[in-house]
Structure 1
Amino acid sequence: MCSSLVQIAAFIAESLQSCGGQVIPPSGYFQKVAEHVRQAGGVFIADEVQVGFGRVGTHFWAFQLQGEDFVPDIVTMGKPIGNGHPMSCVVTTREVAEAFMSSGMEYFNTFGGNPVSCAIGLAVLDVIEKEDLQGNALRVGSYLTELLEKQREKHPLVGDIRGCGLFVGVELVKDRVKLTPATAEAQEIIYNLKEQHILLSADGPHRNVLKFKPPLCFTKEDADLVVEKIDRILTDLEKALGLNLPNTANLENGGSPSLYLSVSSAKH
Structure 2
Amino acid sequence: MEFLQSIVLGVLQGLTEFLPISSSAHLAIFPKFLGWEDPGAAYTAVVQIGTEIAVVLYFWRDIWTIGSGWVRGLFSAEARQEPEWRMGWFVIVGSLPIVAIGLLLEDMIDDNFRNLWVIGTTLIVLGVVLGIAERVGRNARPIEDLAWGHAVLLGLAQAAAVVPGVSRSGATISMGLFLGYERAAATRYAFLLAIPAVVGAGVYKLKDIPGGDNAYGWGPTLVGTVVSFAVGMAVIHWLLKWVSTRSYAPFVVYRIALGSLVLILLGCGVIGAEVAIDG
Q: Would you say same fold, with TM above 0.5?
A: no
- TM-score w.r.t. structure 1 length? 0.26
Larger Rg: 1
Higher helix share: 2
Which structure exhibits the higher relative contact order, with contacts defined as CA atoms closer than 8 Å and separated by 6 or more residues? 2
Structure with more of its chain in strand, by fraction? 1
TM-score by length of 2: 0.26
